[in-house]
Amino acid sequence: MKRILILALLASVLATTAYAILTIYDKTLKVGRMWETPAVRPHEEKLLIMEPGTVPFNGGEAVFRAIKGEDLTSPFQHNDHKVIESGKSLYFIYCAQCHGKYFDGNGTVGQSFNPLPTDLRDQKILALPEGVLFKSISYGIPGGRQPPLATTIDVSDRWQIIAFLKSLPPRN
* Whether residue 30 has pLDDT greater than 90: no
- Give the pLDDT confidence of 50-96 residue by residue, as tens digits: 787 676 666 678 888 888 999 999 999 888 999 999 999 999 999 99
CA distance to 10, 156, 165, per residue, from 134 (Å): 73, 10, 11
CA R_g for the chain: 30
Distance, CA of 95 to CA of 92 (rounded, Å) = 6
How would DSSP label each residue in 125-152?
HHHS-HHHHHHHHHH--TTSS----TTT
- Give the pLDDT confidence of 86-132 residue by residue, as tens digits: 999 999 999 999 999 999 988 898 888 888 888 999 999 999 999 99
- Which has the higher per-residue pLDDT, 28 or 115? 115
* Whether residue 143 has pLDDT greater than 90: no
Contact, 138 vs 149, CB < 8 A?
A: yes
Q: 61-167: which CATH architecture? A: Orthogonal Bundle (1.10)
Residue 60 neighbours by CB under 8 Å, 6+ apart? none
* Whether residue 40 has pLDDT greater than 80: no
Percent of the chain with pLDDT over 70: 87
Other residues' Cβ atoms within 10 Å of the Cβ of residue 141: 13
Q: Where would I find the beta strands (DSSP E) of the chain?
A: none
Task: Give the pLDDT of residue 60.
Answer: 75
pLDDT range class, residue 156, cuts 50, 70, 90? very high
Task: Give the pLDDT of residue 139.
Answer: 93
Task: Give the pLDDT of residue 35.
Answer: 54
Task: Give the pLDDT of residue 57.
Answer: 66
Evaluate if pTM is beyond 0.75.
no
Residue 26 neighbours by CB under 8 Å, 6+ apart? 32, 33, 36
Q: Could you give the angle at the alpha carbon of 94 between the alpha carbons of 91 and 96, nearest 5°?
A: 65
Mean pLDDT of 40-48: 68
Mean pLDDT of 152-165: 94
Average pLDDT value for the chain: 86
